[in-house]
Amino acid sequence: MLELKNISFEVENEEERGTKEIISDISLKIDENKFVVITGPNGGGKSTLARLIAGIEKPTAGQILFDGEDITDKGITERANMGISFAFQQPVRFKGIQVIDLLRIAAKKYLSIADACDYLSEVGLCARDYINREVNASLSGGELKRIEIATVLARGTRLSVFDEPEAGIDLWSFQNLIQVFEHMQKTNDNGSIVIISHQERILNIADEIVVLADGKISQHGPKDEILPQLLGTASAVGACVKLEGGAQ
């Protein structure tokens, strides 16, 4: 499905009057219907990698292929139309737009109230309480995260990328979010999912774990192989700072 070939990404470093490499020569394959979690120390390049996959940033070297097609130079809208979704750490609030409207925009078709309610129910929200709510400041961070996931489900995308979905939500909302991801992983009909996360409970439902440090992949493999190493070695403390405990 998705293949990164020798991807690098640099930014201007004004202090040193040169460039700083954030991602260095990364190659990675994500197959169909896989739940992949990318983890690693802060500043290791995880969110940058997610933005490169989504098309928000463009690599300075390498290729990105989606179903064998080179999408390296395609922007976020083109990739979205091809079936790639991206969920930000902090979902956007849309004053004046109701949840039902947002779901219809995501689906790119008219949804009945019943259809829209089905998507909200899938993410654990009581549909009648939310369907006509505005996507504004009255919604909590956890509610916004689940509504954003509902829009991803409505779009029916083949690759969904979530950048630290646990960021900025309370423990109760985090527990509900985990249940949503567990359901998505078990049903295995929502395409491939890539999540940037430090959280052990999210890592524990992954099919594969990728450890990214200093802009390079240090480990990549099945969860049953990688997670025990992260939990059982001293280096795991630095690699997964938030593995123990809930969302911050």
pLDDT band of 190, cuts 50, 70, 90: low
Return all residues near 143 (Cβ < 8 A) that are at least 6 apart.
125, 130, 173
Put simply, whether the predicted model's pTM sits higher than 0.85 gets the answer no
Query: Shortest CA distance to 78 belongs to which of 55, 57, 103, 49?
Result: 55
d(CA 70, CA 169): 36
The predicted structure's pLDDT at residue 177: 82
Instruction: Residue 148: give the domain boundaries.
Output: 2-239
Is 49 domain-assigned?
A: yes
Is 136 domain-assigned?
A: yes
> Would you state the torsion angle of the CA atoms of residues 220, 24, 160, 229, taken in this order, to the nearest 10 degrees?
20
Is 25 domain-assigned?
A: yes
Is 86 domain-assigned?
A: yes
Listed range (48-52, 209-213, 240-244) with the worst mean pLDDT: 240-244
Question: What CA–CA distances, in Å, run from 159 to 32, 51, 67, 213?
Answer: 9, 13, 11, 23
**Taking CA 211 as the corner, what is the angle to CA 123 and CA 11, rounded to the nearest 5 degrees?**
95
Report whether pLDDT(242) > 50. no
Is 21 domain-assigned?
A: yes
CB 147 within 8 Å of CB 94 = no
pLDDT band of 31, cuts 50, 70, 90: very high
- Total domains, the chain: 1
Per residue in 1-27, pLDDT (tens digit) is: 899 999 999 988 766 667 888 999 999
Is 35 domain-assigned?
A: yes
Return all residues near 102 (Cβ < 8 A) that are at least 6 apart.
94, 135, 147, 151
Q: Which two tokens stand for residue 49?
A: 């990698």
Listed range (36-40, 71-75, 94-98) with the worst mean pLDDT: 94-98
Is 23 domain-assigned?
A: yes
pLDDT band of 233, cuts 50, 70, 90: low
Is 245 domain-assigned?
A: no
Per residue in 36-55, pLDDT (tens digit) is: 999 998 889 999 999 999 99
CATH number at residue 98: 3.40.50.300
